[in-house]
Amino acid sequence: MAVSGNLRHDLNHRGQRLTPQRQRILELFERVGAGHHLSAEDVHQQLLRADSRVSLATVYRTLRLLSSLDLLRELELPEGSRRFELATADDDDHHHLLCAACGRTEEFESPEVLDAGSRAAVHHGFRLLSSRLTVRGLCPTCAGLTGEPSAAI
């Protein structure tokens, strides 16, 4: 799978080159598809398995760059780690459930979250750019291990 010529042009237009390492990382995210959340370590391990020699430091730099260019979306986890997903046109239409124990991440949609963000922005005089919500909790497996029931609202 080759990264499109439009992407190459877009990077060049922003003063960035599409290096082989950047191309491999973008291709990996295109292969796994939207909705998959990978850490820098996940990306590094998958590239190594595919026989791509890319250092972990290069992966970190590239993920930061691709996020700043809005090609990837960054999900900041409470313990300070980060996961990345392929940026799509409908990024504001989904939110994340995050297990605080194992890191499992699930996406969900909620028009109410979008409405709440919009109302809050208007109320405080902001121009809304996006509304994203990350809900921390325990997934069913981890809740079962700790003896805590998953609460139904």
| Shared domain check, 117 and 72 | no
Q: Which of 150, 152, 123 is nearest to 137 (CA)?
A: 150
Q: Which two tokens stand for residue 68?
A: 């700043």
In tens digits, what is the pLDDT along the chain, a chain of 153 residues? 445 556 667 777 778 888 888 889 988 988 887 667 888 999 999 999 988 888 999 999 999 988 888 888 887 766 667 888 887 766 556 788 888 888 788 878 888 888 888 899 999 999 988 777 888 889 899 988 765 555 544
Per-residue model confidence (pLDDT) at position 62: 92
- Domain stop point among 52, 67, 88: 88
**Concatenated DSSP letters for 107-126?**
EE--HHHHHHHHHHHHHTTP
Domain check: are 24 and 79 in the same one?
A: yes
CA 29 centroid distance within chain: 10
Domain that holds residue 147: 91-153
**Tokens 């972990």, residue located:** 56
pLDDT at position 30, please?
86
- Determine the pLDDT at residue 43: 93
pTM check: above 0.75: no
**Which residues share a beta bridge with 137?**
99
pLDDT of res. 153:
46
pLDDT for 109: 80
Is 104 in the same domain as 120? yes
Indicate whether 122 and 110 sit together in one domain.
yes
- Amino acid identity at 73: R
- Domain end, chosen from 42, 63, 88, is at 88
Number of domains the chain is built from: 2
Domain match, 107 and 126 both: yes
The CATH number given to whatever domain includes residue 63 is: 1.10.10.10
Task: Tell me: do 46 and 117 sit in the same domain.
Answer: no
148 and 100 fall within a common domain: yes
